Amino acid sequence: MKVVVLAGGQGTRLAEETEVRPKPMVEIGGRPLLWHIMKHYAHHGFREFVLALGHRGEVIKRYLIDYRPLHSNLTVDVGSGAVAVTPCQAVDDWKVHLVDTGYSTLTGGRVQRLKDRLAGGTFMVTYGDGLASVDVGALLRFHRHQGKIATLTAVRPPARFGSLVFDGERVVRFSEKPQSGEGWINGGFLVFEPAVFSYLEGDDTSLEAGTMERLAADGQLAAYRHEGFWQCVDTLRDLRLLRALWDSGDAPWKTWE
């Protein structure tokens, strides 16, 4: 089964990082967000990816072309230019399709442009700027049991501020940035049947504002509720939080060994 990673957005809210690279290439622990996402799916047995590229897609192409040699020992014959590559660690056994889906194409349009590669069966879609501890194997089983065209992963985002509970003028409970209190939202980690392509109408189609609204109206959208860790990277504050978690050795999205 193929996993689509939407990796073409311009990341304007994180301009400090995305002027020179696409958001999925912003690093946490010396590795791009994209690597963390792909490691998570591969841990659950999904190792074939289709990357929907756009803004600075050449950076992602270069990273993956160089991935094996940069994680291996090299012997270079300077005279002939021949390079012998000897892996120095287990090399990730991923198959990755890198597809240019346009600079300004919206999310639904990017998926639509991949139709020829995806129309053969169920496929997954995720965003290139969010990390979570979602069990994507359980998500797929849930999707198949529901029998709908689409399933999204519903999450309860971390509250931006701590919460207070009062008894008169006395604080009876203080919670520093609880996981929610803000309701359920679309956290990505999507599963689609090929019938979804009848809901996609070109480059200006949004998965969020158009496609999912229509799927819901038709009774074809299910929600898999994820109570665990989830965090998108919209701002420098989000990025610093994830970097601090990684550096602490307590990264909740790190499901692999």
Per-residue model confidence as pLDDT tens for the chain (257 residues): 999 999 988 766 666 666 778 899 999 999 999 999 999 999 999 999 999 999 899 999 999 998 888 888 889 989 988 888 887 666 788 999 999 999 999 999 999 999 999 988 999 999 999 999 999 999 999 999 999 999 999 998 776 656 666 766 666 666 555 555 557 889 999 999 999 999 999 999 999 988 999 999 999 999 999 999 999 998 888 999 999 999 999 999 998 87
Query: Which H or E run includes 255?
Result: none
Contacts of residue 79, defined as CB under 8 A and 6 or more positions apart, other chains included, come to none
In the DSSP assignment, the letter for residue 219 is: T
pTM of full prediction above 0.85: yes
pLDDT score, position 20: 77
| Contact in structure between 190 and 125 (CB atoms under 8 Å) | yes
Q: Rounded to whole angstroms, how far apart are CA atoms 192 and 104?
A: 23
**Type of residue numbered 83:** V
What is the model's pLDDT at position 9? 82
In Å, how far are 48, 56, 120, 131, 176 from 251, measured between CA atoms? 24, 28, 35, 10, 19
User: Is there a contact between 48 and 4 (Cβ–Cβ < 8 Å)?
Assistant: no
Burial of 146 (0-12, 13-18, 19+ CB in 10 A): middle
Distance CA 246, CA 95 (A): 26
Q: Given this model, what pLDDT does residue 119 score?
A: 80
Q: How many residues does the chain have?
A: 257
Burial (0-12, 13-18, 19+ Cβ within 10 Å), 134: buried
Among 145, 128, 154, 143, CA closest to 228: 154
DSSP code of 184? -
pLDDT (tens digit per residue) in 153-192: 999 877 665 666 676 666 666 655 555 555 788 999 999 9
User: Rounded CA gap, 23 and 32, in Å?
Assistant: 9
d(CA 116, CA 70): 32
CATH number of 2-154+182-247: 3.90.550.10
**Dihedral sign, Cα of residue 41, residue 42, residue 47, residue 48:** positive
CB 203 within 8 A of CB 106: yes
The domain segmentation of the chain, as residue ranges, is 2-154+182-247
